[in-house]
Amino acid sequence: MLPLLNGSCLCGAIRYRVNAMPFDADLCHCRQCQKSTGSVVGAWMDFKREQVNWLNQQPKEYASSEHVRRGFCQHCGTQISFRDLRYPDYLTLSITSLDDPSSISPNYHIYTDSQLKWLTIADECPKYRAGRS
């Protein structure tokens, strides 16, 4: 039986189900993630697009850069997805949008050059000053 991950935005207008575990997961400290999520770090998990099923409506997207589309709920504002147009087969979802966000653990940190000075990273995950190559 395939694993099922379920999640939603804050108001529940967007719900999704994923029929696989993510192939990767990270904590992003870049300024765009900080500003778009309203948090000190973005927590993300990666899937093939065909593994993600939107159950009611899909996120509205904002072009935050030439290649990046950040998906959000037009009702409550929750950022729920991240899509890089250069990699059309993949979709990134917010770990914290899961019904059980504790079920997925990030594997590494990226863009730690933008990490807030008062945030101490105490885990053993690899840390990359910029993106992971």
pLDDT tens digits in sequence order for the chain, 133 residues long: 566 999 999 999 999 999 999 999 999 999 999 999 999 999 999 999 999 999 999 999 999 999 999 999 999 999 999 999 999 999 999 999 999 999 999 999 999 999 999 999 999 999 999 998 6
SS3 category, 85 = coil
pLDDT for 67 equals: 96
Per DSSP, 77 falls in state -
pLDDT for 81 equals: 98
Beta-sheet strands, E only, within the chain: 5-8, 15-18, 24-28, 42-48, 52-54, 60-63, 68-72, 79-84, 90-94, 108-110
Rounded alpha-carbon distances, angstroms, from residue 104 to 36, 88, 99:
21, 23, 11
pLDDT for 132 equals: 85
Triad 114, 60, 33: Cα angle to 5°:
5
